[in-house]
Chain A
Amino acid sequence: MSVIGKSVARPDALDKVTGGKAYPVNFQLPGMLHGKLLRSPYPHAKILSIDTSAAEQLPGVKAVLTHHDVPQRKFTSVYFVPTDTKSLPQDLLIMSDHVRFAGQPVAAVAATSAEIAEQALELIEVDYEDLPAVFDPEEAMQAGAPQLHDGAENNIAVAPVMEFGDIEAGFAGADHIFEGTYTTQRAHTCYLEPRVCVAEYNGNDGYTINSSMQHLFGLREKLAFALEIPESNVRVIKPPYIGGGFGGKLDMSYIEPVAALLSRKSGRPVRMEHTRYEDFITTTRNPIKVYLKTGVKKDGTFTARYASSILDAGAHATHGAEVINVHGFAWLSSYHCENMKWEGKSVYTNNMIGGGYRGYGAPQACFAFESQNDEICETLGLDPIEFRKKNARQLGSAHPLVPGLTIDSYAMEEVLDRGAEAIGLAQRHPPGANGDGTTKRGIGMALFPFWVSGCVGFPDIYEHSGAIVKLNVDGTADVATASVDIGSGQITTLLQIAAEELGLPMAAMRMVDTSDTTTVPFDAPTHASRITYGSGLAIKAAAGEAKKRLLDVAGTMLEASPEDLEVVDGIVRVKGSPDTALTVADVASRAESPFIQFTDQGPAPTTLAEKGTIIGLSSMAPPSNPSPIAAGFVEVEVDTETGEVKVDRVVYSHDLGRVINPKGAEGQVEGGFQQGIGYALMEEIQFDPDSGTCLTGCFLDYKIPTAVEMPTQIESIFVESNEPTGPFGAKSMSEACVVVPAPAIANAIYNATGARLKDLPITPERVLAALGEL
């Protein structure tokens, strides 16, 4: 292959190293106003009255909104489900008189400057009735707890259960039973570009929206639904790229509908931008408490696996009602066992609303099961690699989640073996035996054995993609898609796939950066490890259609059958006789030329069959949902006097089907480790237990790893299993690398010290406590 597998430079990098002009945060319109939200200081309250008259009088203020001014149709903000979904609770309002978390917007102002809008907020008087609040999901389920939503008895938003085989018989047949409870925290994606939007009311119930988000069509749907207008009345502009998402921009936030309504009220475009504090209280990975009970034979074979998971959804269900399911899937699909049962609960509390975050329930699951698997191996003296191989799923077996599909590529053994070899797992010391004085060293590993490449087979989740590929007369190609590049290189990957299919060099490829919901086919969001696979297949199909047309025209020109032609590096040639050739530019020019061309020899007619832009279009769902695999191996150093953990070395082993762009793949894995080590060791959104106010609303208090905390050695191993349904054999990888660091690090800490840490984040303080030093 000429383009696939090459570390071509990102087309968007040039703009980004020279200042990055195309981010939504830079978008402006003439006459634009600036909107700000007034947020409730109370976690649970009823609004008795709001007086906005003083704010309206302030010079420069052009519009003020309260719950009296907004439609009262309840919706879910999650992009990837249909608006009329039955699977997720529709429990959200743009503004409501019922406040359920500290920070919920209760009023909004648009003014000629952000400063005036902020001043106006201070002039709004809200009379609240403070209501009792509940912050712990287990307390929220108790009798007598404040009830947050009608119809959600005991504050349970959803309570899915899955069961296979006979769980009791499985435990009865076990030689050993292991139990453990694992807790995970609230963590923020920390995209660096804030959520920002510019909304413009166009008259006739129509709006145009520019936003930093991960799903063009999702925003269109959700906004139209919440505003109670037809979907096509909302036109969403595709940003050429956004400044990070990681799942954190996978739902409509308050600012888009509020900006739209402020624009309508003021008659001017309205821009709204989150402060970092607002971003921190807008979306989070849901905390989940996982109880595991696992039965094993002496040789390590699973006989029964039971799990129960309690998820803190926060004030509204949104993603929390889906994360719980995917979390259950991640646990269930990870290893084979005849007898399995899982019970999940997604529970309303007066905490901030949850959201999407890379891994989507899997990090919480994998931390629990891979920590316990390590404990099983240590207790029973089993080899951690052989134990995992023994219980893993197998190539060719039935897909554990989607009926009718099989596992068509699955290089789990190679992933494990190569990673273990690279880190030296077999040579590691017994727990606590490496190091002296106050420094202990350890090696740990974790496997994330089964995941998704998109959402085919999952109920109620969009998964189709589309693209337009168009050739230009100079031999270049323009590709248009609704798929948003959120930073991880979607533009590059998709263009490489199109280039390979067309037979064009990468330099001839260009991603159209002026698309919107009126000009390109629907695409599911940039989420769920789906772009390379799902969007990639659609891009490949569109390119294939354009290529077919290219060969038809070239066949006429060369007086050859299209089947006998091939395109290599921009040249169309007859297979076996490379001198009989045309450039793609020649062919595209002929297709676009007037019917009769005036040449040096005089007028020369062409044929009708040759005429017309060479273009390909696709809109399709992918045929499967192949699983990537990630195994993480880490070496840590633990200061047993301070409890500080330093990760020195990482080996990351992945089955991703086929590497499209090696540097891009490495970069994604390395970045995934940064998020994973942060989740493992330091990151946590915390709230004041009395007021519900966020204590970690800035980067001084919410700590993420800098270059100094990151290991200097991250080795990436990519196993190419060649997924038969994937574009050029590719499947996905973007989430699996975020999932394994926490359990790998926890297991390495165990190997270093003999202490088992079951609560994230593993702060120095928790390490010391586990060592009995505190």
Chain B
Amino acid sequence: MSESDQKSDAQEWDEGDPERLYVITRGRSGSTEKAAIDLVTLVVSRSGPMPGMQPEHAAILRLCQSPLSVAEISAYLHLPVSVVTVLVADLLAGERVEARALVPPAQLPDAALIEAVMHGLQKL
């Protein structure tokens, strides 16, 4: 293998991180947590990071000193949303963060009701 080959080879290999995403989530894909947390859920930390925490958890706690949505956390940490969902769910279980849905779906009026109102108005 010539030197230039090795160089391009090295460049090609040298990127990314040694750890893969499944290690960060310990194999969970976030399918069970999905119901509670979605992209726009606002997350705010209750306490600062503790020593000995998984670095991603600590990073979320640092980021979320002000409320931040899951989508934003995902963008800043360069982690897919599902990974962030898993991590936030961990933190929620440990009562280190609080999560709030931006607009609780229960408070949105029923679509059928709106349609009925529209029809009623058109009939006037």
Partners in one complex: no
Using a CB–CB distance below 8 Å, which chain A residues touch chain B? none
Using a CB–CB distance below 8 Å, which chain B residues touch chain A? none
